[in-house]
Amino acid sequence: MSVLDSIIEGVREDLASRRLSMAQISEAIESAPKVRDPLATLLNNEISLIAEVKRASPSKGPLASILDPAALAEQYESAGATMISVLTERRRFGGSLDDLDAVRSRVDIPILRKDFMIDEYQFFEARAHGADVVLLIVAALGSNQIKDYHELTLELGMRALVEVHTHDELERALDISPQIIGINSRNLKTLDVDATVFAELIPRIPRDLVRVAESGISTRSEVEHAQAQGATAVLVGEALVRAGDSAAAVRELLGLDRLEP
């Protein structure tokens, strides 16, 4: 069993324990906060930072305790992040829907629910908890699932960050006409990182799509390198949660401190 298979198995078990009826989840959606669409900003910014609330990872283990995820998200927002990514997977990443609720209540920028979306129910659940964007990991889904889940995401008013790691996954992703493509340099089946993946795949992505570089970015020079290759956004978690001053780390990644007199 690959690492990804193991994670998905746990996600299914946890989902079964919290699943509500469709009547209950539909009622929750009716009272959910209005969707904040990040697409125009992501397309128009020279480079955007998606800053992540992330306690742990399968590759590195515990990263930070993050006792107040909303306060951390506020720091990200005040420093210039375009969007907040909130891990909601519990077993390997230490996240929860409570984290999503807390962050949504305290920031004014769009929220990405970062989880392993492998069941239709999770999309209704994401919207009920105020998510504006959800993650679709091509490696975790069949071609019909990718298409159906992408359509459902749009029907619910959200956007999808469609994540790929290989040429084949990118071709499958492009078949659904996505608006946001994430290229993850980490192979979720082995957890190995290949820094060349982004450079190999980026030329195949149409220039009118949002192109997000994921994994292995922790310095300003790495952000500049990704941008030079064609990234319009970067997603960063570990470097930010481990920083002593998360707001300063955001500004450094965006090069904002260098603009100050």
Catalytic residues, by residue number, are 52, 54, 114, 163, 184, 214-215
Residue 244 has pLDDT above 70, yes or no: yes
Cα 222 to Cα 228: distance, rounded to the nearest angstrom: 10
| Contact between 51 and 154 (Cβ < 8 Å) | no
Indicate the domain borders of the chain.
3-259
pTM for the predicted model, two decimal places = 0.95
Q: Give the number of C-alpha atoms closer than 13 A to the C-alpha of residue 80, restricted to the C-beta side.
A: 18
* Architecture label for domain 3-259: Alpha-Beta Barrel (3.20)
Residue 195 has pLDDT above 90, yes or no: no
SS3 212: strand
For 201-214, b/e burial (b = at least 16 CB within 10 A) is: bbeebeeebbbbbb
Q: 230 to each of 24, 45, 62, 148, 203, how far by Cα in Å? A: 43, 13, 32, 28, 8
Please name the residues in contact with 91: beta carbons below 8 A apart, sequence gap of 6 or more: 7, 10, 11, 14
Please give the backbone phi and psi of residue 191, each rounded to the nearest 5 degrees, phi first: 75, 5
Write the pLDDT tens digit of every residue in 33-50. Answer: 999 999 999 999 999 999
Find the mean pLDDT for residues 68-74: 98
